[in-house]
Chains A and B, each alone.
Chain A
Amino acid sequence: MNEKILETFREEVAELLADLEGSLLELEETPDDQPTIDRVFRALHTIKGSSAMAGVDSIASFVHQVENVYELVREGELAVTRELIDLTLVAKDQLRLLVAALNGAGSVDSELLDETTAAFSQLLPASAVATPPSASAVEHAETCTYRIRFRPDLDAFRKGLNPMFVLRELRQMGECLIVPQLDAVPDLETLDPESCCLRWDVVLTTDQNIDDIRDLFIFFEDHCTQLAIDVIDDGGLLDTEAGYKKLGEILIERGDLDQEALNQALQSKTKIGESLIGSGLVSSGRIEAALTEQRRIQELRQERRVAEIASSIRVRSDKLDTLVNLIGELVTVQARLSQNAAGSSDAQMVSIAEEVERLTWDLRDQVLNIRMLPIGTTFNSYRRLVRDLCGELGKQVTLVTEGAETELDKTVIDRLGDPLVHLIRNCVDHGIESPEDRIAAGKPAQGTVRLSADHSGANVLLRISDDGRGLDRDALRRRAVANGLLAADAEIADRELYNLIFLPGFSTAREVTSVSGRGVGMDVVKRSVDELRGNIEVSSLPGQGTQFTIRLPLTLAIIDGLLVDIAGESYVFPLAAVEECVELRRAETAANDRNLANVRGELVPYVRLRDFFTVPGQRRDIEQIVIASIGGNRVGFVVDHVIGEHQTVIKSLGRFYQGIKGLSGATILGNGSVALILDLPQIVDGTSLLEKAAGF
């Protein structure tokens, strides 16, 4: 703060405080004297204004409370009492100390200050204490085109306002087309030069937002017969296949013409614009403005199309598939090259191999990226589905989508369609209650189904949730017991119980509808998700809704894998599922035979892959456990030893091998041998079945 201004401020406040004290003492004698009340108020008001301007906010906010009270006194809503005068005198002394403290002289009793402030705010009605809301800036970077209709009052000039300045500012904001409207300008004989008879229509393309534009007109706010700012082009979002708006449509949208008059004008043989001017329905200026708007939009869209054509090309997706396959081959060959190079003593060879490896990885990432599509491309079709289901079932449901921009491999998106349709159908049919039931349960009649997508590490998470009745725990339990999946007295966690709905033939729907409820569905959904190397889980809260969470890998073609060895054979774990690797000693396994490993105090169940695949031979003294997250649980997989990370190009297994449990594919290693890719959820499922069979 400028020292000179601060000095002036101190002197001024000292003077005002002296005045204030005098006025307060006078007021004590004559509590109803309006001029004295005004003097007190003015002194407080000036101190507040000056301190705020001088940047001394502590004083400004303190005085603000006192001033608010005296505003009530001035309006006759609060009586002057001896207590009020006492309190104000205390406040005055506090102010003197606050000002002195600015000099570094003396100190302020902050406790007394708080007490005084509180005492004043108690005199105010609750609404007056609230601080004024601060204006929040709206983020906006897109270029938009606005239609601005600016009709100043006739007496705008007499208020010292000059519309030309606003137009000049508008011009500086971006590409600006201004069409003056002369229809209100009278003949020269009757023209009053002090009246503002001109009006303007403006088409402005700018990256500033609508609030910035409105700010320019701030002084005209109350001096306009019309001020309308509308978005007519938002940089591409409004583009439709339907083509451009016709002149008549624009005129109706602008309120210059009604439909009936337009129909009449359309019957004439001349051009619509000429016909409207000829019949006197619309002035030539307004037609010109509408035409300007139409031309501008055409130009903008044309520019965008050219830019789009220049920046993207269409490629058939099978060509991309071929490209991905070739990259797969290349990755395999590169692995061989790296392996050979590592075993050779030729430094140049090693360096070339490293270079090829780096380029191959970059190429792989780029090519996989090309195949990524925003998942939102499929969201719209679900909107239609929900709408139709609502009609069929007599329910009211809105579909809310989030994360439409999340990208996924095209193949994954294509194969995700059916499972999502099933899940959304289920939400609308079973999840969301009828409007009557919802109202009875104290919920809005309209239900919400939410479909969201977002990234989580190397996966994409899709969530489909509803705010309906939730899964019926008891019905699920009865059904599970009836199907022999659960003992009648078995204890089972809710989460496990809910996940039973993914078993084949499991449905609790009371009646079978054409929409869902035949018990074929959820198991199909699960199978489809499994095929996409993903997993699905369900969670539910009674009365509040159900949520399905699908976790999918970003791509199907090439994954990061963890290569392991079991009895000299190589296997690959999908690295995304792997959490850690720990050692397992024979001594530990001897201590318990329940296939539980103690990992830093936590008991982790494990599956010995040697046993699972019935691999012959002796197991090692020190094995390794690869711990992975399967359906939210940590499960260990015992292998002979872990080799390391591996870029895994997924090859499908031949027809004869496809039914084998626990394997999802194969890959070719650098030395030309084949490694099998493990399907961890299947292994876990298979194992628990084994456990059941063994009576665990």
Chain B
Amino acid sequence: MAKRIMTVDDSATIRQMLSFTLNDAGYEVIEAIDGRDAYDKLKNNPVNMVITDLNMPQMDGIELIREVRKDPANRFVPIIMLTTESQEKKKQEGKAAGASGWIVKPFSPEQLLAVVKMVLVA
């Protein structure tokens, strides 16, 4: 069965890029437009991995990570943050909240898949 990945980003462009790349590589993708949307969708859709942006309206990435880690069902789900070079502080905050790792934007499809593969060994 295909592994399922949730992508969380308020940018439609990035969501679409993520979906294209991950679908092509055989993963199933659930998109969420911000932290709140992701949190709601996770309740009914167990996933193997979450890829989330940090700066989002409603619920930001850090808050989402904290909430996900509180849920016993998702305590061990790998969470990868999408960060930019200038967000070093955010990266540290995210790690403290329980993120597994990060990818620096912009990234190529190959870089994304390399990280996903490292975290989600088939």
CB-based contact B12/A12 at 8 Å? yes
Residue in contact with A168 in the complex, picked from B98, B99, B121, CB distance below 8 Å: B121
Residue in contact with B101 in the complex, picked from A132, A194, A218, CB distance below 8 Å: A218
CB-based contact A219/B119 at 8 Å? yes
Is residue A436 contacting chain B, with contact meaning CB distance below 8 A?
no
Give chain A nearest CB distance to B70 CB in angstroms: 12
Is residue A365 contacting chain B, with contact meaning CB distance below 8 A?
no
Nearest residue, chain A, Cβ from B14: A53
CB-based contact B13/A9 at 8 Å? yes
List, in ascending order, chain A residues with CB within 8 A of B12's CB: 8, 11-12, 50
Is residue A140 contacting chain B, with contact meaning CB distance below 8 A?
no
A39 CA to B57 CA, complexed, in Å: 8
Is residue A271 contacting chain B, with contact meaning CB distance below 8 A?
no
If A42-B55, A53-B106, A158-B76 touch, whether A216 touches B10 (CB-CB below 8 Å) is no
In the complex, the number of residue pairs spanning A and B with C-beta atoms less than 8 Å apart equals: 88
Give chain B nearest CB distance to A244 CB in angstroms: 36
Is residue A596 contacting chain B, with contact meaning CB distance below 8 A?
no
If A8-B12, A159-B98, A216-B118 touch, whether A45 touches B55 (CB-CB below 8 Å) is yes
CB-based contact B95/A53 at 8 Å? no
Chain B 15-58 interface 0/1 with A at a Cβ cutoff of 8 Å (1 = within): 01100100000000000000000000000000000000101110
A/B interface sample: 9 pairs, CB < 8 A: A5-B20, A49-B53, A52-B106, A53-B13, A53-B14, A53-B17, A71-B86, A160-B76, A161-B78
Give chain B nearest CB distance to A218 CB in angstroms: 7
Give chain B nearest CB distance to A72 CB in angstroms: 11
CB-based contact A219/B100 at 8 Å? yes
List, in ascending order, chain A residues with CB within 8 A of B105's CB: 49, 52-53
A369 CA to B99 CA, complexed, in Å: 60
Is residue B5 contacting chain A, with contact meaning CB distance below 8 A?
no
* Majority secondary structure of chain A interface residues (helix, strand, loop or mixed): helix
A68 CA to B84 CA, complexed, in Å: 12
CB-based contact B106/A49 at 8 Å? yes
Q: Nearest 6 A-B pairs (CB), nearest first?
A: A52-B106, A219-B101, A160-B78, A50-B13, A160-B100, A9-B13
CB-based contact A68/B86 at 8 Å? yes
Chain B contact residue count (CB 8 A cutoff): 33
Residue in contact with A50 in the complex, picked from B14, B56, B69, B95, CB distance below 8 Å: B14
CB-based contact B95/A222 at 8 Å? yes
CB-based contact A8/B13 at 8 Å? yes
Chain A 3-31 interface 0/1 with B at a Cβ cutoff of 8 Å (1 = within): 01100110110000000000000000000
CB-based contact A159/B16 at 8 Å? no
Given contacts A67-B86, A194-B75, 10 further A-B contacts (CB under 8 A): A2-B20, A11-B12, A41-B55, A49-B11, A49-B105, A53-B107, A157-B76, A160-B98, A165-B121, A216-B118
CB-based contact B16/A8 at 8 Å? yes
Give chain A nearest CB distance to B5 CB in angstroms: 13
Nearest residue, chain A, Cβ from B74: A160
If A132-B85, A168-B121 touch, whether A46 touches B100 (CB-CB below 8 Å) is no
List, in ascending order, chain A residues with CB within 8 A of B95's CB: 222
List, in ascending order, chain B residues with CB within 8 A of A50's CB: 11-14
CB within 8 Å of B: which of A488-514? none
Chain A 34-47 interface 0/1 with B at a Cβ cutoff of 8 Å (1 = within): 00000101100110
Is residue B77 contacting chain A, with contact meaning CB distance below 8 A?
yes
Is residue A98 contacting chain B, with contact meaning CB distance below 8 A?
no
A644 CA to B11 CA, complexed, in Å: 77
List, in ascending order, chain B residues with CB within 8 A of A159's CB: 98-100
A55 CA to B95 CA, complexed, in Å: 28
List, in ascending order, chain A residues with CB within 8 A of B11's CB: 12, 46, 49-50, 53
Chain B 75-99 interface 0/1 with A at a Cβ cutoff of 8 Å (1 = within): 1111100101110000000010011
Give chain A nearest CB distance to B107 CB in angstroms: 8
CB-based contact A49/B118 at 8 Å? no
Is residue A202 contacting chain B, with contact meaning CB distance below 8 A?
no
Is residue A54 contacting chain B, with contact meaning CB distance below 8 A?
yes
A210 CA to B40 CA, complexed, in Å: 42
Nearest residue, chain B, Cβ from A156: B100
Nearest residue, chain B, Cβ from A155: B98
List, in ascending order, chain A residues with CB within 8 A of B75's CB: 158, 194
Is residue A649 contacting chain B, with contact meaning CB distance below 8 A?
no
Give chain B nearest CB distance to A585 CB in angstroms: 71
Give chain B nearest CB distance to A81 CB in angstroms: 23
A132 CA to B84 CA, complexed, in Å: 11
Nearest residue, chain A, Cβ from B11: A50
List, in ascending order, chain B residues with CB within 8 A of A168's CB: 121
Residue in contact with A161 in the complex, picked from B55, B100, B121, CB distance below 8 Å: B100
